[in-house]
């Protein structure tokens, strides 16, 4: 394709030169060898020839110009968006190896941090964006979605102590719906806000008990039911993780009574 375009360009360039040479030769002959009336006549012929050429090309000129502008714009974009694969960049906080566009991290790449952390995944405009895995020097690991350099979307965080969170993230915090499995066997399923249990949720204790109800700042707060492993139930309000006011107690043997806290 490139060779074909160059060939056509050279032919066009060559034809233009021939036309110019013909005109120059005609003028020279007129000046050197012709009489006045003949000069006038041939000058008229030359002018007519030039006018004919201009008329034939005038209707194509505007479309040619538009086409050239479009091609020129695309060339400018291509010249700006220079992409390099497997490039290595030195950063103030570590070293990057991966795709680079215009000197910025863009595409797939690995960032080796000076503190021992490592990120491997998608980049956009020099920031973590898309899906990736972040390895912490502490042994923790996050695998999931990023937006604007922060954990945002769905993701799994595995703690070095054996704990695990799987769910929603927003602005680098656990927020939305998620499940947390603690290393002691406890489990929480429900709403999160600002990295803590908040809203409606269920907490399963490793001893078989569970609490279903309202949470605030990672504490039981609002209305809820505590289920005990022996079959008993305690229904009522909570504040700052403690039962308050009147609670209804349902025993496993069918007995029902109230208790004030």
pLDDT tens-digit profile of 166-218? 999 999 999 999 999 999 999 999 999 999 999 999 999 999 999 999 999 99
Contact 188, 201 (CB under 8 A): yes
CATH number at residue 244: 2.60.450.20
* 238 burial type by CB count under 10 A (0-12 exposed, 13-18 middle, 19+ buried): buried
- Domain count of the fold of the chain: 2
Q: Do both 62 and 142 map to the same domain?
A: no
Q: Do both 151 and 42 map to the same domain?
A: no
Task: Tell me what pLDDT residue 32 has.
Answer: 63
Contact 260, 245 (CB under 8 A): yes
Tokens of 169: 């993230």
Task: Tell me what pLDDT residue 46 has.
Answer: 67
DSSP 19-58: HHHHHHHHHHHHHHH--HHHHHHHHHHHHHHHHHHHHHHH
Q: How far is CA 148 from the centre of its chain?
A: 8
Cβ neighbours, 10 Å, residue 50: 12
- Residue ending a domain, choose from 46, 63, 80: 80
Q: Do both 124 and 55 map to the same domain?
A: no
Averaged pLDDT, 220-229: 97
Q: Which of 134, 188, 136 is nearest to 160 (CA)?
A: 136
Q: Do both 158 and 117 map to the same domain?
A: yes
DSSP 8-state symbol, 228: P
Cβ neighbours, 10 Å, residue 141: 16
pLDDT tens digits for 20-57?
566 656 656 665 665 566 666 666 676 667 666 666 66
When mean pLDDT is compared across 68-77, 93-102, 177-186, the lowest value belongs to 68-77
- Domain of residue 237 covers 85-260
d(CA 257, CA 261): 13
Q: Do both 67 and 93 map to the same domain?
A: no
Contact 114, 127 (CB under 8 A): no
């Amino acid at each position: 394709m490139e060779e074909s375009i160059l060939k056509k360009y050279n032919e066009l360039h060559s034809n233009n030169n021939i036309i110019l040479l013909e005109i120059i030769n005609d003028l020279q002959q007129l000046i050197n060898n012709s009489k006045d009336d003949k000069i006038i006549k041939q000058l008229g012929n030359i002018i007519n020839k030039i006018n004919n050429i201009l008329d034939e090309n005038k209707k194509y000129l505007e479309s040619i110009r538009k086409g050239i502008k479009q091609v020129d714009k695309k060339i400018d974009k291509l010249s700006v968006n220079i992409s390099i694969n497997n490039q290595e960049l030195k950063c103030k906080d570590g070293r990057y190896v991966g795709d680079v566009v215009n000197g910025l991290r863009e595409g797939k790449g690995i960032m080796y941090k000076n503190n021992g952390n490592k990120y491997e995944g998608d980049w956009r405009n020099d920031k973590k964006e898309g899906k990736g895995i972040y390895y912490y020097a502490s042994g923790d690991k996050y695998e999931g979605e990023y937006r604007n350099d922060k954990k945002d979307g769905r993701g799994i965080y595995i703690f070095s102590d054996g704990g695990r969170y799987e769910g929603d993230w927003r602005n680098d915090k656990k927020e939305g719906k998620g499940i947390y499995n603690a290393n002691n066997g406890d489990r929480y399923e429900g709403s999160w806000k600002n990295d803590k249990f908040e809203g409606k949720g269920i907490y399963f204790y490793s001893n078989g008990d569970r609490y279903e109800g309202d949470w605030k700042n990672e504490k039981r707060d609002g209305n809820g039911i505590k289920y005990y492993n022996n079959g008993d139930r305690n229904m009522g309000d909570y504040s700052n993780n403690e039962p308050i006011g009147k609670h209804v107690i349902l025993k496993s043997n069918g007995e029902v009574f109230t208790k004030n806290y």
